[in-house]
Amino acid sequence: MKIVFLDALTLGDVDFERFKEFGEVEIYKTTSEKEALNRVKDADIVVTNKVVIDKDIMDKSDIKFIQIAATGMNNVDLEYAKKKGILVKNVAGYSTYSVVQQTFALVLGLLNRVKYFDEYTRTKYPESKIFTHIVDWFEIRGKRWGIIGLGTIGKEVAKVAKAFGAEVVYYSTSGKNSSSEYKRVDLDELLKTSDIISIHAPLSENTKNLISFSELMKMKDGAILVNLGRGGIVNERDLAKVLEDKDILVGLDVFEKEPINKENPLLKSDKTLLSPHIAWTSIEAREKLMNGIYNNIKEFLN
C-alpha cells in the first residue's frame, strides 16, 4: 500500500513514523492544485486536510481510500467518490475542547480588553498618577450568551458560559438541534438581545452569509461577536463597514479566504481580535486527530 500525505504542514509537528507499518509513505508539507494529481495518481490511500480531491483526480488515479485530516469534508467530491467505490472518512470530535477554549480566549481577550491593557501597562502605566486605569468592561455573569449552531462544540460552549453565570440561548442553523436546557430563539431575537454571540456552525447553503449587514446592525451596542465556525458565515465586507460606526467587538478565527488577504480592512480595525484558524490545533486535539487517521487507515486495511 502507498499512503500519501498531501499537506502535512497543516498538522504541525506530529509523528508519521507509525504509518510506515502500512506500507510506503510519502509526505508532502504542502501541495498545490497543479501538483495534486501527479502526487496521488499511484497512491492507494490519500490523506488530505485542505487539498481538493475532485472528479478529475479520482478518474486519473488509483485511489482506494481518502482520509480527510479534519472534520469538514467539503474538499472532496463525496458523491463521485461513492460512485467510484472510493471510501472517504474524516475524524469527528477531535478538536471540541480545543475550539471551546479558543472561543473563550477570544471572548475574554475582547471583553477584558487584554491587548489594550497590555499595551497601556507597558507604555503609560509607569507614568500614571494612580494605581489603576479605568476603561469600561462587563462581566459575563448575568448577561445573555447567544450560540449560533448548538452542535457538539456549541453545547460545550454553552456549559462553560453557564458556569460563568450567563443565560444561554441558541439558534439552530439546521433546524434539527434542540435542547431542553437552553432556550431556542430565532436569529433575529438572538442578535438583538445577546451580549455575547458565538458561532459554531458549518458552512452550508443555510449559513453562507448568515451574518451580513442587516444582521450585524441588529446587534446591541457594546456586544461581542466571535466566529469559530467557518469564514463564509460572516460577510467580511459588511462586517468591516459596520465596525466603522457601530460599537461592537469581533473575534475571528476563520475567514472567507485563508490565509486572509493582506488588504482585508479587518486586519487594521482596533475592534477585532484575530487568530489564524488555530482553534482546532491544541496539542491534545492534534494527537486525537492523528490517532483517528491511523485507526481509520488500519480499519480500512483490515
The structural domains of the chain, with segments of one domain joined by +, span 2-92+283-301, 96-274
Predicted confidence (pLDDT) per residue in 84-101, tens digit: 999 999 999 999 999 999
> Residue 200 has which C-alpha cell?
459554531
96-274 is classed in which CATH architecture?
Answer: 3-Layer(aba) Sandwich (3.40)
Mean pLDDT value across the chain: 97
Predicted confidence (pLDDT) at residue 291 exceeds the cutoff of 90:
yes
> What is the helix (H) or strand (E) element at residue 146, kind and residue range?
strand 144-148
Q: What's the rounded Cα separation, in Å, for the pair 267 and 260? A: 9
Q: Which residues contact 107 (CB under 8 A, 6 or more apart)?
A: 140, 196, 198, 224, 226, 251
2-92+283-301 belongs to CATH 3.55.30.10: no
Residues 21-43 have pLDDT tens digits of: 999 999 999 999 999 999 999 99
**Catalytic residue of the set 39, 230, 256, 286:** 230
Residues 231 and 199: beta-carbon distance below 8 Å:
no
The answer for residues whose C-beta is within 8 angstroms of residue 225's C-beta and 6 or more apart is 197, 198, 199, 211, 216, 219, 234, 248, 249, 250, 251
Residue among 258, 284, 287, 299 flagged as catalytic: 258
| CB-based contacts of 73-78 (< 8 A; 24+ apart in sequence) | 74/203, 75/48, 75/49, 75/50, 75/51, 76/48, 76/52, 77/53
Gap between the Cα atoms of 293 and 268, Å rounded: 38
Model confidence over 197-240: pLDDT tens digits? 999 999 999 999 999 999 999 999 999 999 999 999 999 999 99
Q: Please check whether the two domains, 2-92+283-301 and 96-274, share a CATH topology.
A: yes
Catalytic residue among 144, 200, 277, 286: 277
For the chain, the helix, strand and coil percentages under 3-state DSSP, each to the nearest 5: 40, 15, 45
Task: Report the alpha-carbon distance of residue 203 to residue 274 in Å, rounded.
Answer: 19
Report d(CA 240, CA 274) in Å as an integer.
13
pLDDT at 176: 81
Decide if 277 is catalytic.
yes
